[in-house]
Amino acid sequence: MDIITTHTNTDLDGLAAMVAAQKLYPEGILVFPGKLSRNVEEFMALHKDALAVRSLREINLEKVKRIIVVDTKNPRRLGKLAELFSRPRVEAHIYDHHPWAEGDIRGALEVVEAVGATATLLVERIRERQIPLNPLEATIIALGIYGDTGSLLFTSTTPRDVAAVGFLLEKGANLGVVADFLGRPMTEEQKSLLKTLLLSARRHQVNGVKILLSTAVVEEFIVGLALLTHTISEIERLDAVFTVVEMEDRVHMVGRSNVAQVDVKEILTPFGGGGHP
């Protein structure tokens, strides 16, 4: 049995990448490993009849022969599914746009590239193989790319993400649905984290460049740090903003730069990142 999964607290890019991966692995069963973000919960409530996604308790792990993991390589974000990686007879395929970090899982196939959204990597392969997409599938996948790239405005956005969205629009992606889900207000957890980051903000000036650094510690993972960092950048109107947040047992760092003098990728690469958590 093949299963297709993503990280706990599944966000829109995780869901989008799962749906896209199933086009490449048509026998794969979609499985949520744990909790969902609010946006994904709401989307699934509306489209549960069109999307056959199973919960972990519905899967017999003893029957899994191959696991396709998208939008993460961190075993701590896979819940009980992480134990499959210690089984020699289970083959793993990994698709992710986050940089490698110590302790990440490895696979027989690893597609890890610096694009704005994991779904982009899968769309490229769907396009290459001329696999058909229906409008709902195209909309879900577009929703993930728009969500993870801040509607293609984040500095982590690449020409490949833009090309992927163009392809999805050709396949009937509904931008009205995308706008509806992405335009919803922040969750209470996101609001609380944003407040903490604003209160902890420290402003520095280096060679005439104005930089803001914010830090926070939260017990549970909160989706959307990239969006919160972008929001802080818009509020403060400084040259660059960096946020450092410890969530669960991992530190996430995000940078946003508005000037050429601050290269976020160069700054965060020594920490195992490139501007996206």
Residues contacting 182, CB < 8 A, separation 6+: 143, 146, 147, 151
Identify the domain containing residue 72 by its residue range: 2-182
Q: Which of 134, 156, 182 is the last residue of a domain?
A: 182
Q: 197 and 176, same structural domain?
A: no
Q: Which of 129, 158, 182 is the last residue of a domain?
A: 182
CATH number of the structural domain spanning residue 173:
3.90.1640.10
Q: How many CA atoms lie within 13 A of 214 on its CB side?
A: 26
Nearest to 112 by CA among 78, 72, 139, 52: 72
Rounded CA-CA distance 214/162 in Å is 30
Integer distance in angstroms from the first to the last C-alpha of the chain? 31
Rounded CA-CA distance 165/159 in Å is 10
Q: Which of 157, 182, 207 is the last residue of a domain?
A: 182
Q: In this structure, are residues 8 and 220 in contact, taking their beta carbons and an 8 Å threshold?
A: no
Q: 103 and 238, same structural domain?
A: no
Q: What is the DSSP letter of 100?
A: P
Q: 216 and 157, same structural domain?
A: no
Q: In this structure, are residues 60 and 53 in contact, taking their beta carbons and an 8 Å threshold?
A: no
Q: In this structure, are residues 102 and 75 in contact, taking their beta carbons and an 8 Å threshold?
A: no
Q: 266 and 234, same structural domain?
A: yes
pLDDT score for 230: 85
For the chain, 277 residues long, the average pLDDT of each consecutive 10-residue run is 93 94 97 88 85 89 95 90 91 93 91 95 98 96 93 90 98 94 84 95 92 94 86 89 90 87 81 53
Q: 217 and 169, same structural domain?
A: no
pLDDT score for 100: 85
CA distances from 50 to 134, 135, 155, 158, 232 (A): 12, 12, 33, 30, 37
Q: 222 and 203, same structural domain?
A: yes
pLDDT score for 273: 58
Which tokens belong to 202? 């420290």
CATH number of the structural domain spanning residue 203:
3.40.1350
Q: What torsion do the CA atoms of 169, 182, 95, 246 make, to the nearest 10 degrees? A: 160
Q: 18 and 110, same structural domain?
A: yes
pLDDT score for 24: 98
pLDDT score for 275: 42
Q: 138 and 18, same structural domain?
A: yes
pLDDT score for 272: 63
Q: 156 and 20, same structural domain?
A: yes
Q: 159 and 26, same structural domain?
A: yes
Question: Model pTM?
Answer: 0.79
CA distances from 103 to 54, 73, 146, 246, 249 (A): 27, 9, 29, 17, 12
Q: 267 and 158, same structural domain?
A: no
pLDDT score for 214: 96
Which tokens belong to 194? 């944003």
Q: What torsion do the CA atoms of 93, 97, 98, 103 make, to the nearest 10 degrees? A: 10
Compute how many other C-beta atoms are within 10 angstroms of the C-beta atom of residue 26: 8
276 in any annotated domain: no
**Residue 71 backbone phi and psi in degrees, to 5:** 70, 15
